[in-house]
Amino acid sequence: MASLKAIGAKGVPTDLVDFELDEGLVAVAVFDDYIKASEAGLAILAMGDAYWMILHAGRYVICVVENRQAAVSAELDAWAALESGRGRGARFEYQEFDFGWLSFALYTVVLTACFVWQGRADMVSAGQVDSVAMVQGSQWWRAVTALTLHADVVHLVSNLISGMGFVFFVCRFFGAGAGWLLVLLSGIAGNVLNAVVYYPEAHFSIGASTAVFGALGLLTGVGIWAAVSDPDHRLSLPRWLIPVFGGLTLLGLFGVGDGNVDVAAHISGFACGAVFGALGACVQRWFSVLQRWSIACGALSLVLLALAWCATFAA
């Protein structure tokens, strides 16, 4: 990134020849690398501001409206200092978001309403995970609907409590809307993987626990990425083993047992969540942009549930 001091008083880079700006715009930074310019743009979007990237003489000039120059420049200075610190091996600090307590209330309402409804309408057989129906009959919506069904009150309450505990930390890392969407996608992927593994053997399962252990997997994936990217290598063991062992310990304590526990579904949800968590942690700063669409992300989760049940009725 070019020095911000190269920006003249009128917002014109002093080291670029014949560079002109539209009225009302000022330049705040100049980059030689497109990726770095895009990352700076994401930082500006996270502030809720618009920016213009202008290619001039093989360099990328970031411009904003004139009345936002000071605020954006200060933000870019802080961003540049953070990037510089990371380059010198400093510990990267992740951003924390509001966990969105209303989303937890909605989670309780949705699962409780579905439990009451399933008892009156007997929708378990139509919405449960069915490995043969899903793989052979292409009824993949069952991977979604099964997450809303429970065997009894104890099953429901256990998933409500454990889900809130794990998802709280997921939402703190990814934001409420995006966090719940990732948990849902982890549960869906886990149910799909579980059905594929069991096929052609008939296998049935219900419950939100696949998504709950998907949330645990998300946290484990985040921990793995944080350990791998941490420049402090003072431990003799690989640092990524710590979150792996922690996640597997919790999985063993709460996800494996006798009776009607679907161990394969828990493992599948955990594995899918770990992949999503590691990938999400790579670009955690992007989720600050998604906070502007947090409600939309949460609504998308509800839409996926509604569409899955609509497909069940239509089948």
4-87 and 101-314 agree in CATH topology: no
Per-residue pLDDT at 99? 75
Topology (CATH level 3) of domain 101-314: Rhomboid-like fold (1.20.1540)
Per-residue pLDDT at 281? 86
Please state which CATH number belongs to domain 4-87: 3.30.70.1530
pTM for this entry? 0.67
Per-residue pLDDT at 193? 95
SS (H, E, C) the chain: CCCHHHECCCCCECCCCCCCCCCCEEEEEEECCHHHHHHHHHHHHHCCCCCEEEEECCEEEEEEEHHHHHHHHHHHHHHHHHHHHHHCCCCCCCCCCCCCHHHHHHHHHHHHHHHHHHHHHCCHHHHCEEHHHHHCCCCCCHHHHHHHCCCCHHHHHHHHHHHHHHHHHHHHHHCHHHHHHHHHHHHHHHHHHHHHHHCCCCCEECCCHHHHHHHHHHHHHHHHHHHHHCCCCCCCCCCCHHHHHHHHHHHHHHHCCCCCCCHHHHHHHHHHHHHHHHHHHHCHHHHHHHHHHHHHHHHHHHHHHHHHHHHHHHC
Q: What is the pLDDT along the chain (315 residues), one digit of tens a residue?
A: 343 434 443 444 555 666 777 778 888 888 888 888 888 888 888 888 889 888 887 888 888 998 888 888 888 888 887 766 554 444 545 777 777 888 899 999 999 999 998 877 778 888 999 999 999 999 999 999 999 999 888 888 888 888 888 888 888 888 888 999 999 999 999 999 999 999 999 999 998 989 989 998 998 888 888 777 765 544 444 555 555 555 555 555 454 445 567 788 888 999 999 999 999 888 877 887 778 888 898 899 999 999 999 998 887
pLDDT in tens, 203-236: 999 989 899 899 989 988 888 887 777 655 444 4
Per-domain residue ranges for the chain? 4-87, 101-314
